[in-house]
Amino acid sequence: MKQTIPVVDLDDFMSTNPARRRVFVDDLGKAFVEYGFVAIENHGIEPPILRGAYGSMKTLFEMDSHKKSKYELRKMGRQRGYTPFGKERAKDATAADLKEFWHVGPEFGHDNPLRRRIPDNIWPIEVPTFKSDSLALWGALHGSGLNILRALALYLGEPEETFSQMVQGGNTVLRMIRYPEPTPSTDGIWAAAHEDINLITLLVEASDPGLELKKRNGDWLPIMPVPGQLIADTGDMMQRLTNGLIPATTHRVRAPQTATGPRYSIPFFMHPHPDVYLDPLPSCREGQAGLVYPRQTAEAYLGDRLRANGVLTVDVDVDWMVGRTIDEDAD
């Protein structure tokens, strides 16, 4: 299976050889500028961690709908736990996406003040391995993502830790997705064209093809789930921080003609700390008379986008996800 987007090797950035590091930085940055996507090899996600997460996820989604619905937290926007089919839609889309998914976020200590602003995880008692498997993958992806963000900061001429510090305490989410078997009535679209909200998204190899990016000329380009590769793309928050230099690329998930069964996928959405302002970085302000985008914190922007996606109702404030339990959230 041959990849269709640029491929880089994270071992080059982790090297002590300055020339190898510089090549990685340049190639990574150019791929994000031109495609918005890049494939990464030697990313540090060990196969046993990936196998464990996929195994627990498949067991979870095989449960009957009644059991899964116990973990659907409607009033807090389903930002943790289970989301059933047809509940999320792309911004400006008229139809909901065809997918069910489960959200896992960071684990904070009991005395961490961020617990009042970022929701606690909930865990399905029916799948005892789910917590350890999903948190292992969350941690591995976060570590890999920090290195990718360090390289991207260097490409932009910023201090190396600019982005890696920015995401500390962020509402970074692991999303485990199951797309259903395709039917003629779906027209092959599992997830409509959209851009990601966050800084960067990391996507471990999916069970089947289906991801497509929209090239700058408007054509759709399939991205292959090559074994051993991690796919990274940039979101709207990165577009704002770079004043559009690194755009949020439109992409979708479409069932290939060869698809016969469900598709499993695990994206990892890296978010800044809630109080980070999405103002253009110093290196991205040259030639700008003023800010291209309205000034907003990451927390406020996330709330606005979730409302636009139909996840939140317009009358729910930013505290939509604070302090909810399964019983309190029940309708």
Could you tell me the pLDDT band of residue 216, with boundaries at 50, 70 and 90?
A: confident
- pLDDT over threshold 90, residue 117: no
Q: pTM, whole model, 2 decimals?
A: 0.90
Taking only the tens place, the pLDDT of each residue in 5-48 is 999 999 999 999 999 999 999 999 999 999 999 999 999 999 99
Of the two residues 38 and 315, the one the predictor is more confident about is 38
Going by C-alpha positions, the residue among 303, 263, 302, 308 that lies closest to residue 89 is 308
Phi, psi of 165 (to 5 degrees): -75, -35
Are 280 and 291 a contacting pair, CB within 8 Å?
yes
- Residue 218, pLDDT score: 92
- pLDDT over threshold 60, residue 330: no
Are 222 and 188 a contacting pair, CB within 8 Å?
no
Could you tell me the pLDDT band of residue 298, with boundaries at 50, 70 and 90?
A: very high
Of the two residues 273 and 284, the one the predictor is more confident about is 273
Q: Rounded CA gap, 120 and 235, in Å? A: 24
CA distances from 261 to 68, 69, 149, 178 (A): 20, 23, 35, 10
Going by C-alpha positions, the residue among 166, 239, 150 that lies closest to residue 197 is 239
Which span out of 64-78, 126-140, 308-322 was modeled with the highest average pLDDT? 126-140
- pLDDT over threshold 80, residue 310: no
SS (H, E, C) the chain: CCCCCCEEEHHHHHCCCHHHHHHHHHHHHHHHHHCCEEEEECCCCCHHHHHHHHHHHHHHHCCCHHHHHCCECCCCCCCCEEECCCCCCCCCCCCCCCCEEEEECCCCCCCCHHHHCCCCCCCCCCCCCHHHHHHHHHHHHHHHHHHHHHHHHHHCCCCCCHHHHHCCCCCCEEEEEEECCCCHHHCCEEEEEECCCCCEEEECCCCCCCEEEECCCCCEEECCCCCCEEEEEECHHHHHHCCCCCCCCCEEEECCCCCCCCEEECEEEECCCCCCECCCCHHHCCCCCCCCCCCCEHHHHHHHHHHHCCCCCCCCCHHHHCCCCHHHHCC
Are 80 and 173 a contacting pair, CB within 8 Å?
no
- Residue 74, pLDDT score: 77
Q: Rounded CA gap, 87 and 73, in Å? A: 12
Could you tell me the pLDDT band of residue 188, with boundaries at 50, 70 and 90?
A: confident
Q: Rounded CA gap, 274 and 301, in Å? A: 9
Are 167 and 273 a contacting pair, CB within 8 Å?
yes
Of the two residues 58 and 90, the one the predictor is more confident about is 58
- Mean pLDDT check: name the lowest of 99-108, 153-162, 192-201, 317-326: 317-326
| pLDDT (average), residues 236-243 | 94
Domains of the chain: 7-320 (2.60.120.330)
Could you tell me the pLDDT band of residue 79, with boundaries at 50, 70 and 90?
A: confident
Could you tell me the pLDDT band of residue 85, with boundaries at 50, 70 and 90?
A: confident
- pLDDT over threshold 70, residue 183: no
| Proportion of the chain above pLDDT 90, given as a percent | 65
- Residue 94, pLDDT score: 64
Taking only the tens place, the pLDDT of each residue in 49-59 is 999 999 999 99
| pLDDT (average), residues 265-289 | 88
Going by C-alpha positions, the residue among 119, 267, 106 that lies closest to residue 200 is 267
Write the CB contacts of 124 (distance below 8 Å, at least 6 apart in sequence): 60, 63, 67, 68, 71, 130
